[in-house]
Amino acid sequence: MKALVYAAPSRVEVRDVPEPQPRDHAAKVRMRYCGVCGTDIAIHAGKHPRAKAPLVIGHEFVGVIEEVRGGTRGFKPGDRVVAYPLLSCGVCLPCRTGTPHVCEKLKLIGIDCDGGMAGFAWVDEDVLFKVDDALSDRIAALIEPLAVIVRSLHQSRYQVRDSAVIIGAGPIGLLTAIALRRSGASRIVISDVDEARLGMCHTLGYETVNGKNGGLVNFVNEATKGEGMDVVFECSGVESAALEVTKLARVGGTICMTGIHKAPRPVDLREINFKEQTLVGSRVYTKREFEQTVSYAAQIRDDLEHVVTQVVPLTKSAGIFDMIADPAINTLKVLVDCTA
Ligand SMILES: [Zn+2]
Ligand SMILES: [Zn+2]
């Protein structure tokens, strides 16, 4: 079968790879679409600490079941499914105490073992979820990143009518904005330094700010008469954002770290003290949240239509990361069409 394989730093190749072997208590999933994630970009760059070549990448996939071995969960050929891609060790303290999504040895399908940018994969039945018929394949491929947002909304203790500022207008930032609007936020401000991304958010009806040179802090100060916003979602992973978050949140407000920072950052901890702010981490999602997201995606599917900006056939996907890196091509969420 064809697969997109991480071959070496800065090189992915479309290869013919041996078909995965059948497993018990698993289903053969014929892939339809698989999303490209920031993690995949890090793998391609050779900067992911765990990913080892050769590796079939992709953890945001939707497909159709062709065969089931086991059948204890009632799946049958023809069912359209997405997969909870987390692999937890089961023995560490977080695993033993009900939080396996923050397992000390957390692994993911498509990072630590072969993933979804391929013709098919055998996936354990207990991580599969059936997709609502009303959801298109393209939107179903967004369930995994949307689950990240469901987690971070829970972690942020966001409450209906809270105001929110989102740093970073990439796929995660935009999905956060969509989820907040659908959840009754009183005001949503989204910032980036990429004018094309800001333009897209503006078109979708969000308040946008160019965050260059402290522009976001100035904007929020003016807009709130210096009071700050209820919740800050840091979705950029950029160093300068870490120093701004405490200036954006109100006294008693929450700062949720949705985006992953790859290095230690300076943060103004004095402001956390003086303003009694809560700085909270968020990592992937629980299985319960993933399950909730499957139906949530169907409920908000009209808004999700705008997130996918490019679809690339699997057989022509060797240059997909060059396309994403090309500033002349405005990409937001890119999907691989595994059927073409
Ligand atoms: Zn992802
Ligand atoms: Zn564990």
Cα dist from 130 to 37, 63, 66, 67, whole Å: 22, 10, 14, 15
Distance (Å) from CA 102 to ligand 2 centroid: 7
Ligand nearest to the CA of 38: 1
Which H/E stretch holds residue 309? Answer: strand 308-313
Distance (Å) from CA 37 to ligand 1 centroid: 5
Ligand nearest to the CA of 90: 2
Distance (Å) from CA 259 to ligand 2 centroid: 22
Distance (Å) from CA 236 to ligand 1 centroid: 14
d(CA 279, CA 198): 26
Cα dist from 335 to 35, 62, 248, 291, whole Å: 4, 11, 33, 22
Domains and CATH numbers, the chain: 2-145+285-337 (3.90.180.10), 157-281 (3.40.50.720)
Distance (Å) from CA 101 to ligand 2 centroid: 8
Residue 219 CB coordination number (10 Å): 19
Ligand nearest to the CA of 85: 1
What confidence score (pLDDT) does residue 156 get?
98
Distance (Å) from CA 174 to ligand 2 centroid: 31
What tens-digit pLDDT sequence spans the chain (340 residues)?
Answer: 999 999 999 999 999 999 999 999 999 999 999 999 999 999 999 999 999 999 999 999 999 999 999 878 999 999 999 999 999 999 999 999 999 999 999 999 999 999 999 999 999 999 999 999 999 999 999 999 999 999 999 999 999 999 999 999 999 999 999 999 999 999 999 999 999 999 999 999 999 999 999 999 999 999 999 999 999 999 999 999 999 999 999 999 999 999 999 899 999 999 999 999 999 999 999 999 999 999 999 999 999 999 999 999 999 999 999 999 999 999 999 999 999 9
Distance (Å) from CA 21 to ligand 1 centroid: 25
What confidence score (pLDDT) does residue 251 get?
98
What confidence score (pLDDT) does residue 26 get?
96
Q: What is the DSSP letter of 113?
A: B
Ligand nearest to the CA of 57: 1
Distance (Å) from CA 315 to ligand 2 centroid: 36
Distance (Å) from CA 287 to ligand 2 centroid: 14
d(CA 233, CA 211): 14
Ligand nearest to the CA of 99: 2
Tokens of 289: 């949240």
Ligand nearest to the CA of 104: 2
Which H/E stretch holds residue 209? Answer: strand 207-210
d(CA 84, CA 294): 10
Distance (Å) from CA 176 to ligand 1 centroid: 14
Work out the angle at residue 114's Cα, subtended by the Cα atoms of residues 113 and 120, and round it to the nearest 5 degrees.
145
What confidence score (pLDDT) does residue 153 get?
98
Distance (Å) from CA 257 to ligand 2 centroid: 22
Give pLDDT tens digits for 8-59. Answer: 999 999 999 999 999 999 999 999 999 999 999 999 999 999 999 999 999 9
Distance (Å) from CA 112 to ligand 2 centroid: 15
Distance (Å) from CA 59 to ligand 1 centroid: 6
Mapped onto helix, strand or coil, the DSSP state of residue 199 is helix
Alpha helix stretches (DSSP H) within 76-142:
93-96, 137-140
Ligand nearest to the CA of 283: 1
Alpha helix stretches (DSSP H) within the chain:
38-44, 93-96, 137-140, 143-155, 171-182, 195-203, 215-223, 239-248, 269-274, 287-299, 301-304, 320-325
